Structure 1
């Protein structure tokens, strides 16, 4: 399915990029900590940055280096509420090779970017891999039913929204069909996989092919390959 193929690859690529970014951030933080000098700084002001619906406050810190140079810098970490007060004393770490490379000695300032990218990268990659596995299992079930099952033409009952799933505020469609088992006279309801567009206008017949296991109709696959937007 093209839609899920695009989603799968997008999530996987973004996840890998974020994990690479996390690795780069971790290396930068580790290299920075290898050769730093500690000093005591004072919060002298806050830099305010206005976003779409909020303001973030980043502390401006002034300290004296061991060479006697007065350095003032703005923390790379901001928050909706100031984490410090003016005149608060904070420990700062700066590079012995370049005094302009300086950070407040706090866990989040040193490792925050790494952790955020690590968590987000892991989540994106997990979703991409999960979509791949679901598609792989679906294809294996379809191949199994093509070899060992039987094909029947079932009457289409409706095209419904699957309200149990939502993405960006939208629900997918499913094709619902019924099949009368001639051996048991029992009516079975089958539902297609999720379709992220309304397939109604592409349905030209009253029936749809369903592959099912002979002795276990609960194991089935509704063939929707006739839908043009799903063709590879």
Structure 2
């Protein structure tokens, strides 16, 4: 359980760093667009794979090596550049891709990773707390619940593999509702070990049947 918490925590950390870096770059690009000067330039040549750009500013020719390049760039191609008025040597090529691709990519990538980490981590933390309170501290009501199925949780993968989950179904006569209880992730198929077992020990919160912990400690750990 805790290893999954660490896993989702790493996801959330990477996502948060990328998200805020993307936000910073977005605002930085907007600031450049509002305060930098624009000029027409051309590709005067290449330094290896790096295009060398030349443009005229106040009657003087300025050249710089661009951090942005693409396979279709050719010597003599015209480009739009922009630069801080007091330091034209810091000029950059001005195009949608060179300006916005990296900030938008980092923003979107970070948002997705952060969401996966936070949502997955919250679910896993809920499981950890349920095990601690209901099983370890003995506050849960032990209930024998029939095994309904053993499934593969395809929504989660590590190194291309998805874990197995034991599914039990419990009919609550008071509410006349069927509750589905799922085990923690099992990284091998436990079906053979369950062939003579019809029920699982599930520790439920008497006040909230959606809060539970299924005891799978009898299963051997994967080598």
Q: TM-score, normalised by structure 2?
A: 0.67
Q: Distance in 2 between matches of 1:4 and 1:213?
A: 23
Confirm or deny: 8 A CA contact 2:184 2:214 kept in the other structure. yes
Cα distance, 1:158 vs structure 2 = 9.2
Q: Deviations over 1:170-196 (max 9, x none)?
A: 1213346799x9xxxxxx99641323x
Distance 1:118 1:225, change over 3 A: farther
Map residues 45-194 of structure 1 onto 2, 5 A cutoff. 45=45, 59-74=51-66, 76-79=67-70, 81-82=71-72, 84-135=73-124, 138=127, 150-153=141-144, 161-163=152-154, 165-175=156-166, 191-194=182-185
The answer (yes or no) to whether the contact 2:82–2:92 under 8 Å persists in 1 is yes
CA distance in 2, matches of 1:30, 1:157: 56
Query: Is 1:41 matched up with 2:30?
Result: no
Q: Deviations over 1:7-27 (max 9, x none)?
A: 221122112211221233234
CA contact (8 A) 1:62 1:73 kept: no
Q: Which residue of structure 2 lines up, in the alignment, with residue 15 of structure 1?
A: 15
Aligned residues: 208
SS for the counterpart of 1:69 is: strand
Q: Structure 2 unaligned runs (5+)?
A: 173-178
Provide the rounded CA distance (Å) in 2 between the counterparts of 1:11 and 1:176.
Answer: 27
Evaluate the alpha carbon distance shift between residue 2 and residue 48 of structure 1 in structure 2; reply closer, same or farther with a 3 A threshold. Answer: farther
RMSD: 4.4
In 2: Cα distance, 1:169 partner to 1:145 partner: 33
| 2:68–2:93 Cα contact (<8 Å) kept | no
Deviations 1:203-228 (A, max 9, x none): 8x9674223699xx999642246789
Q: Unmatched 5+ residue regions in structure 1?
A: 50-57, 182-187
TM-score under structure 1 length normalisation: 0.64
Instruction: Tell me by how many angstroms 1:34 deviates.
Output: 4.2
